[in-house]
């Protein structure tokens, strides 16, 4: 065989090998090494991105188990879906899942939050959607708290909203409130005082009813102030506070998006916490 023929066949072999995957099927597009990556933003910290470095987002109205961004909303906030997850080191596969949306399409979730793009992000690293309308936030792996905008529905079955005076009224309408990183509702206690837990027994015998929120304020949405959060000691355990209010879960909130505690034992005794919450009294 002449050198010219050998070089020709070698070239054909290399091209064929590049164009096929391990199963021998054509796959001209190189597969990304990671479907979800971690990226560092100088102002926002560690973010979740797709394989191309495009920022992913959470929607504050996605308080339950489905996506609230439907119809025209998707023009600005396209869904993120990955058929196969390849994750950066530091991300856990157990934090990701898939949901079937009301329109029949599929969407990837992270810690229960459906993931989206923002149409106005043009380049990798863009975060133009952060804080948009107070309901869109970059997806981060290390949030301590998140912000939800959803209907309050008490354990009594009634729907509630909060008026300008901070009073609970029966009625429809979304309310802004704090949750943990996975969307579980957080509460204050009306009888607590500034940086003082007046509910939890020393032996934690009543902690099952209203568990203390044990966390450090590592990362929060950009519309909140880090200075509003602190940590107090409660009988040897740490409890996060917001504007001096010790923070709790409600033990009977069994599902993501539940906020049943707002009516127990009556509305206002265990209020939600949000940017309108006043500083706890001394």
18-75 pLDDT, tens per residue? 333 333 334 445 545 578 999 999 999 999 999 999 999 999 999 988 899 999 999 9
Model confidence pLDDT, tens digit, residues 225-260: 999 999 999 999 999 999 999 999 999 999 999 999
CA 59, CA 80: separation in Å to the nearest integer? Answer: 12
Helix (H, G, I), strand (E, B) or coil at 195: coil
Q: How many CB atoms lie within 10 A of CB 129?
A: 23
Question: What's this model's pTM, rounded to 2 decimal places?
Answer: 0.86
Tens digit of each residue's pLDDT (9 = 90 or more) over 160-177: 999 988 899 999 999 999
CB 66 within 8 A of CB 103: no
**Beta-carbon contacts of residue 136 (< 8 Å; ≥ 6 apart):** 57, 58, 59, 60, 77, 116, 118, 129, 130
Q: Using CA atoms, how far apart are residues 43 and 63, in angstroms rounded to an integer?
A: 26
């Amino acid at each position: 065989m002449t050198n010219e023929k050998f070089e020709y066949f070698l070239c054909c072999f290399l091209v064929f090998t590049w164009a096929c995957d391990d199963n021998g099927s054509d796959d001209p597009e190189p597969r990304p090494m990671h479907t979800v990556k971690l990226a560092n933003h100088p102002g926002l910290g560690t973010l979740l991105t797709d394989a191309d470095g495009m920022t992913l987002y959470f929607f504050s109205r996605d308080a339950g188990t489905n996506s609230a961004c439907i119809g025209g909303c998707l023009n600005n906030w396209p869904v993120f879906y990955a058929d196969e997850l390849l994750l950066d080191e530091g991300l856990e596969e157990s934090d990701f899942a898939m949901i079937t949306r009301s329109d029949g399409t599929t969407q990837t979730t992270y810690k229960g939050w459906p993931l989206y793009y923002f149409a106005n992000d043009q380049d990798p690293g863009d975060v133009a959607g952060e804080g948009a309308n107070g309901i869109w936030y970059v997806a981060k792996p290390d949030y301590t708290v998140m912000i939800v905008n959803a209907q309050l529905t008490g354990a009594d079955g009634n729907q509630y909203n909060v008026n300008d005076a901070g009073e609970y009224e029966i009625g429809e309408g979304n309310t802004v409130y704090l949750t943990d990183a996975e969307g579980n509702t957080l509460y204050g206690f009306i009888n607590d005082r500034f940086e003082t837990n007046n509910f939890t027994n020393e032996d934690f015998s009543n902690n099952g009813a209203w568990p203390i929120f044990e966390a450090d304020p590592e990362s929060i949405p950009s519309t909140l102030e880090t200075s509003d959060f602190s940590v107090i000691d409660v009988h040897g355990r740490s409890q996060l506070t917001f504007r001096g209010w010790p923070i709790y879960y409600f033990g009977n909130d069994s599902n993501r998006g539940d906020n049943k505690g707002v009516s127990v034992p009556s509305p206002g005794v265990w209020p939600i916490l949000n940017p309108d919450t006043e500083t706890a009294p001394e």
